Amino acid sequence: MHVWDTSSKNKLLIQKLKEHGIEAKKGSWTDGEVKQMEENLNIYQKLNPDIDIFKVFYRGETGDNRAVLKKSNFWDILSYKICRSLTVIQGRFRHLYQDRAGYKIGRYSKKEVEYIRELVVKHGRNWSFISNLMNRSIGSLSVFYTTYIENDINKGHWNNDEKERFLIITNKIMKYNHENNIPLFKISWRTTSNFVLSRSSRSCQYFFSKNKVFLENSFYERYFTSTKKNAMIIYLYFSSVKSKAEIDWKELFVLYNGQFDEVSLKNQFTKLMSEVLNVDFQCAVENLYKKETIDLEVLFKRINFVNIMQYSMTKPLTVAYLKAKYYLLIHDLPNFMQKTSEEVIVILHTKYCSDKSKNTSTVTTH
């Protein structure tokens, strides 16, 4: 292993060397270092005559080039007598020997710059594909695009095609986050930019921040279903709270398995209460319960929720939580209506424990 490889396995050794005043060299490369790298490369080629190192490194024609390089100890041999970090040596090698792999080197012409723009719009940052078309190395294209082109692409108003592509990819990401209990708006802007094609990652992030309310509302219209809405009504009705300030948002968070954060739940609550005008809080909840929930009392009568609530538990469950969870489970689990009271007790407590352990770490107070 290379001495200055900064992986976790080598950190202790590097720390000890630093304590003795020995550190990896930084700054410009000397002629002696470049000559030493050339000598090391010649040694490697003599030891491995069957490996075309330039095809392996730049073009990957032998499949997994990293495995080939590691198995043949390429970086250990190449870095011999060169007191530089492994990352720096790799970058220097990539820069020095592009021409030997058949790649064009030197400054990019105006035609090449325009061609890169066109290819990125059509194919995204597929540098492997673009590299074959332009005969430039993947590293060269990636660095050049990020440094000189990305910040200049399409800074004006977003056209309808760009907006449509943006909505498609962000909705896909948010759907995945929603299904896997990941914060809804944890989005990779590079991934988004690659899909939109004609906008930089920074531009995508800015566009999202400007339209976050619209995106959030459109998303929750699809995923805060009538079943989830009714569960909130049931919870509010049986919790007997007298105002919004008394609502236990953490328990509601757990009720929905962490799919909706506290801010989103409060927004949905506000939207729900706007359906009932000019009445006090408790009357509004009662009206919603009578309006939206059908024959629930028949369902609830078959289960003794008070007994479940008193069932041994580190934290006692509220009847409001149990009835709302029971309602959700009726819609989520097949044949749940046929379960006995004892089976319902086990399922409700199992669901509560698993949901609580899964989501407690992500609950935040706003």
What is the widest separation between alpha-carbon atoms in the chain? Answer: 88
Show Cβ contacts of residue 48 under 8 Å, excluding neighbours closer than 6 positions: 72
d(CA 60, CA 127): 13
| Segments of the chain with pLDDT less than 70 | 1-22, 59-66, 150-155, 181, 184, 221, 278, 292-317, 332-366
Cβ burial, residue 343 (10 Å; 0-12/13-18/19+): exposed
HSE value, Cβ hemisphere, 13 Å, CA-based, for 169: 21
Burial class (CB in 10 A: 0-12, 13-18, 19+), 98: buried
pLDDT at 39: 92
Q: Which of 86, 96, 85, 98 is nearest to 31 (CA)?
A: 96
- Domain extent listing, the chain: 8-101, 110-152, 160-222, 224-362
Q: How far, in Å, CA of 336 to CA of 108, rounded?
A: 66
pLDDT value for 312: 45
